[in-house]
Every structure is written in C-alpha cells, then in structure tokens.
Structure 1
C-alpha cells in the first residue's frame, strides 16, 4: 500500500513544486488508504516514521505536510472525548487538513520566549500572532498553544474559518509553496472550554515532543536518502573527486537512519538530548546530501525544475524549520 502512496506523490512532485496544486490531494490519498492513524497515540511510531520518510524521499513538501497532519492527530487523540468525536475521523481520513501551530509552545518551554497567543478577557477570547504555520487552508483545523488569564499554558483547537482568525497571504517561498505556509493573527477568537485540548501545556508537550522531533527527523532522512542515492550514480569521471566525501556522508546518513528507527520503536524512551542531536544531525545530512547531489549533477542539477534542484531548494528550509538549527544547538548546549 505504501508503494501506491509513494507513486502517487512521485507523480505529483513537480506540480507541487510549480504551484499547480497543493498538498491536500496527497493527504487525502494517504488518509483514504487508512495510513494516517497508524499507531496513533502509542509509543511505537515506526510505521508512520517510515511512511513520512518514504513520502519525503519523493517530495519534501508532501512529507512535511504529512508530518504536520500526523502531529495534529497526535494532539487530538489526547484531547477530551468531545473534541476527538468532532474532529479525529475527519483528520485521520484526510477530509480535513490539520495545522500544527505548536512550535511556539516548545520554544517557550525551552526558555526561549513567551507564548504569543493570550486569553485577555474572561469570555475566553484569544488574541495574538502565530508567526508561522503550515497546511493553512480556509477549512483547516488549527491546534495552538495559548496563555490563559490565570497565566497557565493551554492548548486549544479552532477552525481556520472561525471569526477572528486572520490568515495572512502566503509569501513566495524558495520551495514548499504547496504546503500553504504562512502567518496568522487571532483577533478575539472564541476558545471555549469545549475547545481546550489540555490545560496543562507542560505535561502535554512532554508527551508529544519525542514524536514531534522523531517524525521531523523522518522527513529529513527521507529527502537525504534520495540525494545520497542519486549521488552514488555520479562518482565516475570528475565525480571520482567526491568519492571520499560521498562515503562519509552515506555512512553518517545510514547511522542517522538507524538511530531514527531504533528510537521510533519506543519514542518516549528516548533521552531528550538524543532527540535534539538526532534531529540536528538529520537536517545537516539532508542539506549536505542535496548540495553534493547538485554538485555532482552540474548544470543539469542547476536547472530550476529538475528534481535535483527541487531537493536542493526544499532542504534549504530545514535549518530554519522550527526548532531551527540555532534552537537545537542552544538546547543541546544546556546538556553540556
């Protein structure tokens, strides 16, 4: 079944990159095959990690949006029953797209900033910005952190077409434009008690963070896998000058993949520092692998709409994807 999914994504990768379509069809295809909720709510996320990796190997845009969809599901499966009953099936089937706007919470809990969304009034209305989120379509479901009037962190859920949700026009991106990534503003958005996923942000994030980071690692290793494989076919002639570089990169990539899949079998048993280190290593490998592939392809890889060029542009996003390389390095330094 995963072969059919990867073939579907592969056939659409160029159109995604050119902005002729967006990721909603890919998510619907995966959800329609019953794959989005595989292992949902458990500590063994090996199957979904493999799926994200395989999809990202064909299109990082699709793999990235698949990660976001799965994380929205991970949040909602831990929500009270009324929220689960209202939205879980829609997200799991791919009929509705999920937005994970939780990066600000993880940054806040790392000690790197306050929560930008706040409930300023007694009637539960929330205001403030979401600096960046993906999968932001008019009928998407947004899961977000906010600070209540009592100062405690919470997680809420609201539809993107709710009153007061302002979606800013999506900027033109170097790649990943099909992921509908943009910023939002909440202007007195009603978040009632029946829209609160949890009133304990700290405990909630401790539960979802290992899954968040491991599945991000999967889309990094996915795009790196294709770049490494393509590079391996171009090591003759002038390419022979890069054989040592290739061998070292391939070795690091395989080690990173092995670590990912070992940890994905028991996500919550992984030490926090290893999660950070793994995510950082995977992103670095992906950037280096796509650079090497582009170098080995020469002018053909420089052509804007070649697959090599697309992977190079897609991977350029990884150092700034939250948690950014700077945040990962800073958090790792706290363990030294």
Structure 2
C-alpha cells in the first residue's frame, strides 16, 4: 500500500511508520497496566485519550485519517496492535471507532460536524449501544428502548443492559422503536448525563472489566432531532453494519497475535514437548495471515451490499473468532500448568477470546445469519 502513515501489527503488515510508532508508543503505556485493567477493572482513560492523539480513531474516517484517505483495514490493524497488549483497551478502541463510523454514515451533517472531530481525536470518548438493536433487528430480541414523538424530538424510555466505553459526558450511538408504531425505528447519539440518561454498573464479567461497561437507564429522556443519526432508520443499518462487524476483527486479530507470541515464548523452554502439539505457532500464523488477506479485500469496500459480500464479511468475522479460541487454547496447552495459574498471561488471553466469540453479533448469531443468507 502506498505512502502515508499506516500500521503494522505483530504478525500482519500494512503501510508504515509514523502512526504505527505513535500507536505503539501509546500501547506500550498500557502494557504495565494490562493486568490491573483486567483484574481491578481500572478504566485507562488517559491512555485511551492518548491513542486518539496518536490518530488511532480517525483512520477509517474521510475527514480525519492521517493517511490522507480513509482506511478501514488500517483502523482494524491499529486495534489489533492495542488488543495484542490489552484487549480491554482494544475493545474500547472498537467502541470509539464504531461511534465515529456511525457519524461517517449519517445524513445529519451538522451532528457529524459537532461530534466526529472530537471523537476521532479522543478528546470526547464514545461507545456503541447497538447490542440490543442488532439482536432485535435479527429477530432474536425485542427493542429495549421506545420513544414517543414530541415537538422537536422523542421522549425515550427503557434500559440498555450493557454499553461500554462510557463515563460521565461520554456519547454513544443507539436505536429505539417508536412507541406508537413498532415498524418505525430511529438511531441517535446520546450523551451520558443529559436529562433522563444515567448509568449504573450491574454486572461483573470474567474479563474486560476495565471497559467502562454499564447499564444505561432512559427515563423519558428527550432525544432532540439534532441528535438523530437516522429517522426513520431506512438504509442506515445496511451502511454501517459491514464496517461495524469488520472493525470487531481487530480485537480478535490482536488476541491471536498475542497467543502466537505466547506459544513462541513457551517454546523457548518447552519445545521438546510442544513440537508434538497438533496446532502451534506456525499453523496459527498461516491461518491468521490468510484471514488478513481476505479481510483487507473486504475492508476496501465497506459500503457494498451484495449478498455474497455480506456473507463473506460475516464469515471472516466467524473465522477470526474461531481462530481466537483455537490459538488461545493452544497457547494454554503450550504453557501447561504455568498457564493455568490465575492471572497468567494465558489466563487473560483465554478469557479475552471468549469475549471475541460472544460479542454481538456472536458466533451463534453470525452462523444463523450466514445460514439464512445461504438459503435465500
């Protein structure tokens, strides 16, 4: 790829130098915090803002990419660099990237101009509140938010159980159903702390505790027309979904890269045993390299709507998730009892891979959708 300031993950390569070095420097600051973030649930706000200053959150956005052009694959690889050190932070990068992506695709140019520059720069942090909405649109859940049309906007009520990368003043994107017409849906950017919108911690997870994950409570919250990304929803989901799904692969690629490194590390003292493993660093490297090639091709046209293209996007996301599970399990087997200690690097990577597999859309949801696309 030509020129500019792209990124290189540990095992995958793209364009080079300035941004790679900037992201790597900010990620290095996370290395010493990764265990604390994981075990104590510390949200690394300063480091996440530093990643924004390094240009991490703008790579896929036309007006903010330091490459001189938007590049979804560079945004994915930047996330992989972060996730290879700390996937909690990589997940927050995905949340931030997704919020910028929603604004990239909206027809509300004033809202884009208001929020996207600060989100791309990391001076305003943002989350993505579409887990329920994506499940509802696929027919596996009901919408948890309902809005009643009033002068100048909507009054929205309900609860979103888990939204991440949140804190006071943070923004996030979400969807709601019209209380008077269930076929009418809308999408908006919402700010934590605006009237009627509050957060509450309601669960502790086996991993990714330091991700600013909360339940969001809407109590007749007024969502003004100038906060709307799309009303009615129309083609907005079709525009955002391929990029939304492909961005998630950055987390899994980072975990796979870390698992490969862990296998190599174990082999420095345990190669005499590990040479007999059925799946090792070489096999994982070959698999992830092939996935990266497919992903780079797909990420070049994220607004494509062809059925085969969508199926390929969903399949590459499944493949990254499955390889995350396979590679981290192999890393555990390479490390043996030393990896089975609470707080070991392998312990964290195993738990992170589980998250890659279950984040919406989860492997089971993706397989369901792939089957439906193949049958129609």
Q: Residue 27 of structure 1 is aligned with which of 31, 38, 48?
A: 48
TM-score of the superposed pair, with normalisation by structure 2 = 0.83
Q: Partner of 1:154 in structure 2?
A: 186
Residues 1:127 and 2:157 aligned together: yes
- 8 Å Cα contact 1:158/1:191 also seen in 2: yes
Query: Is the 8 Å Cα contact of residues 116 and 130 (structure 1) preserved in structure 2?
Result: yes
Taking the aligned partners of 1:30 and 1:244, their CA distance within structure 2 comes to 34
SS state at 2:34 partner: helix
Please state how far the C-alpha of 1:147 moved relative to its aligned partner.
Answer: 1.7
SS at match of 1:201: coil
Deviates more, 1:233-242 or 1:321-330: 233-242
Specify which of 35, 39, 58 is matched with residue 18 of structure 1: 39
Q: TM-score, normalised by structure 1?
A: 0.92
Match of 1:252 in 2: 287
Q: 2:74 aligns with which of 23, 44, 47?
A: 47
Q: Is the contact between residue 201 and residue 213 of structure 2 (CA under 8 Å) also seen in structure 1?
A: no
| Alpha-carbon separation, structure 2, partners of 1:48 and 1:131 | 27
Matched pairs, number = 336
Match of 1:115 among 118, 139, 143: 143
Shift of residue 20 of structure 1?
Answer: 6.2
Pick aligned residue for 1:37 from 58, 66, 88: 58
Cα deviation for residue 318 of structure 1 reads 2.1
* Runs of 4+ deviating beyond 6 Å: none
1:281 aligns with 2:313: no
Gaps of 5+ in 2: 1-21, 63-68
Tell me if structure 2 keeps the 8 A contact 1:43–1:265: no
- Root-mean-square deviation over aligned CA pairs: 2.1
* Higher relative contact order, chain-length normalized (CA < 8 Å, sep 6+): 1
1:190 Cα deviation after fit: 0.4
The alignment status of 1:91 with 2:110, answered yes or no, reads: no
Q: Deviations for 1:36-79, whole angstroms, at most 9, x for unmatched residues?
A: 11230577312111101111111111111101101111112334
Query: How far did 1:8 drift?
Result: 2.3
String of CA shifts for 1:261-308, please: whole Å, max 9, x gaps: 222233234711111111111011111111111121122212222222
In 2, the alpha carbon distance for the partners of 1:330 and 1:202 equals 23
Q: Distance in 1 between matches of 2:39 and 2:133?
A: 32
Instruction: Tell me, in whole angstroms, the C-alpha distance in 1 between the residues paired with 2:302 and 2:111.
Output: 25
- Structure-2 residue corresponding to 1:8: 29
Shift in alpha-carbon separation, 1:296–1:173, aligned structure 2, 3 A: same
- Once the two structures are TM-superposed, the CA of residue 247 in structure 1 deviates from its matched residue by 4.5
Contact between 2:171 and 2:189, CA under 8 Å: does it hold in 1?
yes
Please say if residues 146 and 177 of structure 2, whose CA atoms lie closer than 8 Å, have aligned partners that are also in contact. Answer: yes
Residue equivalent to 1:310: 348
Q: Which residue of 1 aligns with 2:220?
A: 188
